[in-house]
């Protein structure tokens, strides 16, 4: 996606809507921020030359409009606090793409390019998840969030097993990571903010690598003769870090949440999250290991790859961040 002046304008409006929704003093202003965020994101994912982003934009608009309609519908029910909060929670979970309202997320991810996927996986999650964190004071809200978290963990782990599209794999991976963030909201704001930061940086590094290499399907990872050893190590470490394999950086937020859940005696949700993380780590390992195993010196000698920006600047930076947990893991334990 090339950034023209129109794209920069809509991107600034998207960020403005997100900030407005997060910092709003009332639910009405939060709804206005969500609508501004929605209406500025639609032009960013439409394309005149390709029908798939336009189809994804239409699906995204219909789903988000349904969520906004639930928010508007909850306004006359403010006198009944339980019904009002329940409808708000369902609307925000729908906008977030959490289970059981998750079915739209993988299909829309499949129709976007990699740059647009970064926005959908990171920036578009900020406002709904912040607003959900304001609702957890209610007891039944906490129970429904635990239910949604367990369901998201199962859907995200099992849904990505038989996928060959990298965008769908990252979509189901995002749903699985969303389960950890929902549980972290019940523990402390510090926990889910740390998790969201690590998830955003690590997943963005993977998407940037796939975008530069123009990888969209699993088979392309080990059929491209121009992939260097540095790029393969960088992408493999990023995938293992996203899966939460110790001692990579992606394990640090999982470690914090596991310790907090054990302290609060949330053993059954913790068991489900750990088992789902192991399943997701399986298809991360499948993506990460094959390019390294099938790369030979003969292939590299016959097809030398030209120097690129990723190899010279971005690869060492992402490589350092993904092994950051190996260098100083104890720093975060004393915060």
pLDDT in tens, 69-87: 999 988 888 777 788 888 8
Tell me the average pLDDT across 65-70: 92
- 236-262 pLDDT per residue, tens: 778 888 888 887 888 889 999 999 999
Please state, in angstroms and rounded to a whole number, the distance separating the CA atoms of residues 97 and 171. 10
**Which runs of consecutive H residues, i.e. helices, occur in the chain?**
5-23, 27-45, 51-74, 81-96, 104-110, 114-118, 124-133, 139-159, 166-187, 189-213, 229-242, 251-263, 267-294, 297-302, 309, 315-322, 324-327
Q: What is the pLDDT of residue 291?
A: 63
> Could you tell me if 127 and 14 are in contact, meaning their C-beta atoms sit under 8 angstroms apart?
no
Q: What is the pLDDT of residue 30?
A: 93
Q: What is the DSSP string of 259-284?
A: HHHHHTT-HHHHHHHHHHHHHHHHHH
Tell me the average pLDDT across 271-287: 90
Q: What is the pLDDT of residue 250?
A: 86
Tell me the average pLDDT across 300-308: 47
Q: Which of 71, 70, 59 is nearest to 21 (CA)?
A: 71
- 159-190 pLDDT per residue, tens: 988 888 999 999 999 999 999 999 999 998 88
> Is residue 209's pLDDT more than 90?
no
Q: What is the pLDDT of residue 50?
A: 74
Please state, in angstroms and rounded to a whole number, the distance separating the CA atoms of residues 96 and 92. 6
Average pLDDT of every residue of the chain? 83
Residue position matching structure tokens 């965020």: 37
> Could you tell me if 124 and 92 are in contact, meaning their C-beta atoms sit under 8 angstroms apart?
no
**What length is written for the chain?**
335
Which tops the pLDDT comparison, 56 or 236?
56
Q: What is the pLDDT of residue 258?
A: 94
For 56, 108, 193, 300, the CA distances from 126, given in Å and listed in that order, are 20, 18, 10, 42
> Could you tell me if 104 and 63 are in contact, meaning their C-beta atoms sit under 8 angstroms apart?
yes
Please state, in angstroms and rounded to a whole number, the distance separating the CA atoms of residues 294 and 146. 41
> Is residue 306's pLDDT more than 50?
no
Please state, in angstroms and rounded to a whole number, the distance separating the CA atoms of residues 252 and 257. 9
Q: Averaging pLDDT over each range in 33-47, 225-239, 302-316, which range is the top one?
A: 33-47
**Cα dihedral across residues 224, 230, 233, 238: positive or negative:** negative
Query: Which distant-in-sequence residues (6+ apart) come within 8 Å of 279 by Cβ?
Result: 157, 158, 161
Task: Give the pLDDT band (50/70/90) at residue 65.
Answer: very high
Q: What is the pLDDT of residue 83?
A: 83
Strand, helix or coil at 165? strand
> Is residue 307's pLDDT more than 80?
no
Structural domain containing residue 283: 5-334
Please state, in angstroms and rounded to a whole number, the distance separating the CA atoms of residues 87 and 82. 9
Query: Which distant-in-sequence residues (6+ apart) come within 8 Å of 100 by Cβ?
Result: 148, 151
> Is residue 127's pLDDT more than 80?
yes
Q: What is the pLDDT of residue 297?
A: 45
Tell me the average pLDDT across 210-237: 73
Please state, in angstroms and rounded to a whole number, the distance separating the CA atoms of residues 178 and 320. 25
- Measure the CA angle with vertex 149, ends 144 and 151; round to 5°: 95
Q: Give the range among 28-32, 78-82, 90-94, 295-299 with minimum mean pLDDT.
A: 295-299
Tell me the average pLDDT across 76-99: 87
Task: Give the pLDDT band (50/70/90) at residue 29.
Answer: very high
Q: Give the range among 1-10, 128-137, 324-333 with minimum mean pLDDT.
A: 324-333
Tokens of 49: 């030359």
Q: What is the pLDDT of residue 64?
A: 93
Tell me the average pLDDT across 119-125: 93
Number of domains in the chain: 1
Please state, in angstroms and rounded to a whole number, the distance separating the CA atoms of residues 270 and 124. 26
Cβ-based neighbour number of residue 301 at 10 Å: 8
Q: What is the pLDDT of residue 298?
A: 43
Tokens of 257: 């949440």
């Amino acid at each position: 996606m090339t950034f023209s002046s129109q794209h920069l304008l809509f991107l600034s409006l998207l960020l403005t809507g997100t900030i407005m929704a997060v910092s709003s003093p009332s639910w009405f202003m939060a709804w206005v921020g969500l609508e501004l965020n929605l209406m500025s994101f639609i032009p960013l994912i439409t394309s005149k030359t390709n029908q798939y982003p336009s189809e994804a934009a239409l699906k995204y608009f219909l789903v988000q409009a349904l969520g906004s309609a639930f928010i508007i519908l909850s306004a006359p029910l403010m006198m009944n606090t339980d019904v009002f909060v329940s409808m708000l929670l369902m609307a925000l979970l729908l906008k977030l793409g959490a289970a059981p309202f998750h079915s739209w997320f993988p299909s829309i991810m499949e129709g976007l390019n990699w740059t647009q996927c970064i926005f959908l996986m990171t920036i578009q999650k900020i406002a709904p998840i912040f607003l959900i964190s304001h609702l957890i004071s209610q007891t039944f809200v906490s129970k429904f969030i635990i239910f949604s978290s367990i369901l998201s963990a199962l859907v995200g782990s099992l849904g990505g097993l038989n996928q060959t599209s990298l965008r769908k794999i990252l979509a189901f991976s995002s749903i699985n990571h969303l389960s950890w963030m929902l549980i972290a909201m019940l523990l402390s704001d510090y926990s889910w903010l740390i998790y969201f930061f690590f998830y955003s940086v690590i997943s963005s590094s993977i998407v940037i690598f796939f975008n530069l290499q123009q990888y969209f399907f699993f088979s392309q990872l080990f059929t491209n003769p121009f992939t260097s050893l540095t790029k393969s190590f960088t992408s493999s470490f990023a995938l293992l870090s996203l899966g939460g394999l110790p001692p990579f950086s992606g394990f640090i937020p999982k470690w914090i949440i596991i310790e907090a859940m054990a302290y609060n005696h949330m053993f059954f949700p913790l068991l489900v999250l750990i088992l789902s993380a192991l399943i997701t780590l399986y298809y991360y390992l499948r993506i990460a290991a094959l390019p390294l195993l099938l790369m030979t010196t003969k292939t590299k000698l016959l097809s030398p790859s030209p120097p690129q920006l990723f190899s010279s600047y971005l690869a060492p930076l992402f490589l350092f961040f993904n092994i950051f947990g190996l260098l100083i893991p104890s720093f975060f334990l004393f915060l």
